[in-house]
Amino acid sequence: MISASAVRSLLLAVAGMVLAAAAHQPIDERPSDAGSTTAAVAAPSTPPSTNPTTPTTPTTPTTPTNTESAPPSTPPTTATPAATTPATAAPAATTPAREPLVVNAVGDFNVDPGYIPALATNGYQHALSGMDGLFLDDDITVINLECPASALGSPEDKTFTFRCDTVALPVIARMGVDVANQGNNHSLDYGADALLDSLANIEAAGIAAVGAGRNATEAARPAVLERGGWTVAVVGFGGVVPHAGWLATDTNPGMADGDTVETMAAAVAAAADVADLVAVTIHWGKELQTGPPADDVARARAMIDAGADMVFGHHPHRLNAMDWYEGRPIFWSLGNFVWPALSAAGADTAVAQVVVDADGSINACLLDVTIVSHGHPQLDDPTNRSCGSFPPEAGQK
């Protein structure tokens, strides 16, 4: 029989072995206690996903391969990109639908209060109040501004010298004037500095200045306006030259040459390259004439051949008839407009109106106007404000 002391010794030995084995067991294999802090540092059974839109699949470690010598037998797994809508080309910019276009033009326009005191007495709105808002209802209004709008300079040695009051410019702009030609025989009445100052003052009032500039290139540059889906270029020329020094050159300011056919045609062609329609406003002809001289007929036709769609002439101080060439209207002389009422013939004037239909058809007419008092032109019939229907001779763009 085994003695009681031997059994006790055997039990103590076994207990010691169990305790020794527990002391060497790894910590993450030990039974966890839900109440202990040990569970917080234990590795999660499933790694967190790195792409919240794609379920994570456990990966099996693989032996690194030499990708330079041989590709892996299985391509490496890459994240699947989110589904996207196939890219489509942006729609091309569409040209705005063209609307019928109305261009009005007038002849000699003078806001020198020394020459027309009624303007100083009645205010500069007196110049256009007789138009009954006609120039606010059209798309473009063109005038021949027969004076430099500047306080600079001293008068040239001439019989008549005019100086526009700059205060008049914003007034006539608000009443609908869009473009002012300075290519005329009075724009340099007070010298080159006054001319350049005038051009700046006209532009500052919101009116485009044409027909003169710092050099020949600038003088022949068109004003470009966007109206009703149309791009319209307006070019100004001065064909009445007091002396050669009035013409702009490569280095000197002045007005655009309105005599030389080749340069005029080139300027019109350049304008036609950047516009749908080209309007020309030109100071030409002889005083008191009632019809065009042959050389002006040749100039008008050359400009139309180069791309002009309408030609507005002025200077003779007498209203002349309009004409057509290749379906394009020519107004040889629009006479006086804002001017003293010095005679019945001088007071008889008109607004040249050109209407371009949405399909490019061109119609034109003269709206009768009378200078009823000094500096105050007035529509003969305020209800007759449009050329109306398109005649057979109307052009097709």
Domain harbouring 122, CATH code: 3.60.21.10
Domain span at residue 143 reads 101-396
User: Is residue 94, in this structure, part of any structural domain at all?
Assistant: no
User: Is residue 52, in this structure, part of any structural domain at all?
Assistant: no
Q: Would the pLDDT of 306 be above 70? A: yes
User: Is residue 1, in this structure, part of any structural domain at all?
Assistant: no
- The proportion of the chain whose per-residue pLDDT surpasses 90, expressed as a percent, equals 73
Q: Would the pLDDT of 77 be above 60? A: no
Q: What are the tens digits of pLDDT across the range 316-354?
A: 999 999 999 999 999 999 999 999 999 999 999 999 999
User: Is residue 366, in this structure, part of any structural domain at all?
Assistant: yes
What's the pLDDT at 93? 61
Model confidence at 392, pLDDT cuts 50, 70, 90, reads: very low
Determine the average pLDDT of the residues in 285-306.
97
Determine the average pLDDT of the residues in 204-229.
98
| Predicted TM-score (pTM) of this structure | 0.76
Determine the average pLDDT of the residues in 77-94.
52
Q: Would the pLDDT of 81 be above 80? A: no
What's the pLDDT at 201? 98
Q: What are the tens digits of pLDDT across the range 269-282?
A: 999 999 999 999 99
- The total of structural domains in the chain comes to 1
Q: What are the tens digits of pLDDT across the range 10-19?
A: 444 444 443 3
| Neighbour tally for 394: CB within 10 Å | 19
User: Is residue 54, in this structure, part of any structural domain at all?
Assistant: no
Q: Would the pLDDT of 87 be above 60? A: no
User: Is residue 304, in this structure, part of any structural domain at all?
Assistant: yes
What's the pLDDT at 96? 73
Nearest partner of 248 among 211, 221, 216, 209, judged by Cα: 216
Determine the average pLDDT of the residues in 27-53.
37
Determine the average pLDDT of the residues in 25-40.
37
Handedness of CA 269, 273, 274, 276 (dihedral sign): positive
What's the pLDDT at 89? 55
User: Is residue 232, in this structure, part of any structural domain at all?
Assistant: yes
User: Is residue 50, in this structure, part of any structural domain at all?
Assistant: no
Average pLDDT, the chain: 83
Q: What are the tens digits of pLDDT across the range 147-162?
A: 999 999 999 999 999 9
Determine the average pLDDT of the residues in 154-181.
98
Model confidence at 179, pLDDT cuts 50, 70, 90, reads: very high
Q: Which residue would you say has higher pLDDT here, 45 or 2?
A: 2
